[in-house]
Structure 1
Amino acid sequence: MPVTDPVENLQTLIRCPSVTPAEGGALTALATMLEPLGFAVSRMTASEDGTPDVENLYARLGENGPHLMFAGHTDVVPVGDEAAWSHPPFAAEIADGTLFGRGAVDMKGGIACFVAAIARCIEKHGPPKGSVSFLITGDEEGPSINGTIKLLEWAAARGERWDACVVGEPTNPDRLGDMVKIGRRGSLSGVLTVQGVQGHAAYPHLADNPVRGIIKLAEALMEPPFDHGTENFQPSNLEVTTIDVGNAATNVIPAKATAKFNIRFNDTWTAETLKAEIIRRLDAAAEDEALRPGRAPVRYELHWADRPSHVFLTKSPALIESLSAAIERTTGKRPELSTTGGTSDARFIKDYCPVVEFGLVGQTMHMVDERVAVKDLEVLTTIYEDFIQGWFGHAGA
């Protein structure tokens, strides 16, 4: 079976220019790899007003027994300045033992290795004693509206149920085997607007400068800390990402000021309790006259972004131990179990089954000259192959 070679698999996928939301031939190439292995492959296109249509793929091998899902995405971020690349971003060229191309680690490499791993398992042992599925989206690097969340709903409505999932995102900071992600902090974003009164900078008593208010409110959002971390998670942190007044003049007090913020929160909070705490802070700061002596309380509006990501922690000994043991047998080291980093599509999958994340080294993801060591592709394939055998052994016991 030629798909037992992860390098060839990855080269095929990279040569498909699947920049979000374009399918670029990547899902077709993946279907061509999976169908000869016995997978039943389905394609679905998801739509929503105001967002681009997205093609997705679901493939399943087997009909009964424990059901293991592999999840990921074939879409990639734009290449940026193509002239800055030392190798064409969609050529999948190999130089000095390194394979270059957009998506090499994020995350066509993980898909290529899992395909090779299941192909090797079938070649050596026959089909697994259960079911294996691929849930692959084309929308992870985009709005994440017409991808995994809708593909899961589509599959579940057709009777699909899963016992465990591995997401092939690049989780390792330095070397393969460093880290398995067993959860993620939540993410909540908002837009804060302070209303003022426009006027001449030389006559401030006739105006009300909203910059004074937005500074005070932004300070209240960032200090004091929301918490100091928990047993499994880093401290929650809120970052104000932009403050803007839309004012090109130097002698005009603006009419309003806007700030955007994002908070990554741990299991001290839910999205609902966190919203309440943020409003409490803003209300208290709005009454503070330190920057606005003699003025009425700051008038502000707060709008929350849709679809906050909720914090989660996976507690599945069979899944975590099977993967950790496979990593240790292959690399000689025990991986760190971590909840660090941003969000991923695991935040959707956690509502359907236990989920962990493990893939390649992520140092060059989204960069010019994104690349992966060829030897790492073989190591990851070996880990996945060992894991598949071990997990079905645990799940079927």
Structure 2
Amino acid sequence: MSENLLDAAQGRTASVVDLAQQLVRVPSRGGIDDYGPVLDILETWLTRYRLPHRRLHSPDGDLVALVVEIEGGRPGPWWTLDACLDTAPFGDESAWSFPPTSGDIEQDWLLGRGSADSKLAAATFVHIAADVHARAHELSGGLAVLLDVDEHTGHFGGALAYLADPDIPRPEGVMIGYPGLDEVVVGGRGLWRAHVRVHGDSGHSGSSRPTVGAMSRAARLIRTLDDTNLPAPADGDPFPLPPKLTVTAGHGGEGFSLVPDLCTLNIDIRLTPAFGADDARTLVHDAVTALDRDHPTRHPTETDIIAIWPPFQLGPGQEPGAALLRAAKEAGLDPRPKTAGPSNIGNLLAGHGIAATAGFGVPYVGLHGIDERAHLTGLPKVYAVYHQTVLDLLRPV
């Protein structure tokens, strides 16, 4: 990596931090706050730097994202930097050591909700877009910056609107600005999620007539699912994680006197290349069939599949992961490629055939928890790494 890029990153740091502070000080909790004010801040900044940008909306007309598009002077593939501007809720504000919308800096930590996930990344990426815009005529393809405000809701409306827009070139790959300096996330387990509606006999809890309520039948199903052995990774399997099944919620019953006739379970199964969506569906189907056979009731158990995301993992040398790891090494950093247990937007993109990385950024504490903060000492190198990666990907062949 050239010292010019590192020097340029040092020169950009104060501006990046100032913009990130402005963003953190505007609450933008997913599904709670109005996203207009936080996007107004970025639109003002983008207009000042004359960067082409526009808002994206869901099919229902909801504001879900802001996209910046920088077209190179020569044909070639497009690449995308992605960061969310909506945040997790504050939780118990009395437990925080500082206001959740602080935006202050203490001992090189940027304080407040969204500082780590992912307003500092958003501020970094738009500055990189400005750098690329200044020399776009030299480059091939194009760079988009997607700033999502429908990520923490779980709807991923910004990414979906971006992919559905016929006027936006389909990216070859996406780099998502989740924080963490020690790893470049190049893969993740997928997911299979379903609501399972377990029926039972309704009645009075004090009745002399025996009843098998939905809660009792649901408990049997949970026990069966918990006792299921899922396959471990085989020796030499490049995907390092096993599948995982969790019953994450159960809803049924009311008060004390009524035996409930319905209990709805949320089933979350994390997928791997060796245990995919068909395996998850078969597993739950077999468990439900056994429940209805061995403990019958008037209504069969019903399964509604809510979401399916495939697992993903970039191969060695596959872009954009290879370029990001290479640039990090040239900057004197040594992050390791990681396949993550939780799913992320990378899984959504993988379902559309788009390669993604899902994490490399500054160190952080308290992501989604109390006292969220991001450490700024490593920001210049993180900036330079992403800048170098983008230039490498856009370099004319």
* TM-score, normalising length: structure 2: 0.84
How far apart in 1 are the matches of 2:151 and 2:220?
Answer: 36
Instruction: Pick one of 245, 256, 260 that aligns with 1:238.
Output: 245
Q: Determine if the alignment matches structure 1 residue 388 to structure 2 residue 390.
A: yes
How far apart in 2 are the matches of 1:336 and 1:296?
Answer: 51
How far apart in 2 are the matches of 1:126 and 1:212?
Answer: 64
The residue aligned with 1:62 is 71
Instruction: Pick one of 227, 248, 264 that aligns with 2:270.
Output: 264
- Residue type matched to 2:174 in 1? C
On the 8 A contact 1:200/1:252 being kept in 2, the answer is yes
Shift of 1:341: 3.2
- Residue type matched to 1:236 in 2? P
Q: Determine if the alignment matches structure 1 residue 28 to structure 2 residue 40.
A: yes
- Cα-to-partner distance string for 1:85-108 (whole Å, 9 max, x where unaligned): 333222310112211011001011
The residue aligned with 1:378 is 380
% identical equivalent positions: 22
Larger deviation, residues 35-44 vs 71-80: 35-44
SS state at 1:359 partner: coil
On the 8 A contact 2:365/2:371 being kept in 1, the answer is no
Q: Structure 1 residues 317 and 252, CA, compared in 2 at 3 Å: closer, same or farther?
A: closer
The residue aligned with 2:336 is 336
Q: Determine if the alignment matches structure 1 residue 310 to structure 2 residue 291.
A: no
User: Superposition pairs for residues 82-97 of structure 1, below 5 Å?
Assistant: 82-97=93-108
Q: Structure 1 residues 317 and 210, CA, compared in 2 at 3 Å: closer, same or farther?
A: closer
- Cα-to-partner distance string for 1:92-145 (whole Å, 9 max, x where unaligned): 10112211011001011112222334445667x676613211122110011415
How far apart in 1 are the matches of 2:288 and 2:309?
Answer: 22
On the 8 A contact 1:222/1:238 being kept in 2, the answer is yes
Q: Structure 1 residues 281 and 303, CA, compared in 2 at 3 Å: closer, same or farther?
A: closer
Q: Structure 1 residues 321 and 106, CA, compared in 2 at 3 Å: closer, same or farther?
A: same
- Cα-to-partner distance string for 1:129-170 (whole Å, 9 max, x where unaligned): 13211122110011415321122211xx11513222211122
- Residue type matched to 2:312 in 1? F
Larger deviation, residues 65-74 vs 301-310: 301-310
Identify unmatched segments of 5+ residues in structure 1. Answer: 289-294
User: Superposition pairs for residues 90-109 of structure 1, below 5 Å?
Assistant: 90-109=101-120
CA-based RMSD = 2.8
Q: Determine if the alignment matches structure 1 residue 180 to structure 2 residue 184.
A: yes
Instruction: Pick one of 212, 232, 235 that aligns with 1:208.
Output: 212
- Residue type matched to 2:106 in 1? A
- Residue type matched to 2:387 in 1? E
SS state at 2:255 partner: coil
Q: Determine if the alignment matches structure 1 residue 359 to structure 2 residue 365.
A: no
Q: Structure 1 residues 209 and 165, CA, compared in 2 at 3 Å: closer, same or farther?
A: closer
How far apart in 1 are the matches of 2:354 and 2:266?
Answer: 33
Shift of 1:237: 0.7
Instruction: Pick one of 21, 27, 47 that aligns with 1:17.
Output: 27
On the 8 A contact 1:225/1:237 being kept in 2, the answer is no
Q: Structure 1 residues 252 and 66, CA, compared in 2 at 3 Å: closer, same or farther?
A: closer
SS state at 2:58 partner: strand
The residue aligned with 2:3 is none
* TM-score, normalising length: structure 1: 0.84
The residue aligned with 2:53 is 41
On the 8 A contact 1:233/1:267 being kept in 2, the answer is no
Shift of 1:241: 1.6
- Residue type matched to 1:166 in 2? M
Shift of 1:254: 3.3
Q: Structure 1 residues 9 and 352, CA, compared in 2 at 3 Å: closer, same or farther?
A: farther
Q: Determine if the alignment matches structure 1 residue 193 to structure 2 residue 197.
A: yes
Q: Structure 1 residues 362 and 277, CA, compared in 2 at 3 Å: closer, same or farther?
A: farther
Q: Structure 1 residues 245 and 43, CA, compared in 2 at 3 Å: closer, same or farther?
A: closer
- Cα-to-partner distance string for 1:327-362 (whole Å, 9 max, x where unaligned): 2222432x2222213222223333153211223335
How far apart in 1 are the matches of 2:296 and 2:27?
Answer: 56
How far apart in 1 are the matches of 2:328 and 2:341?
Answer: 21
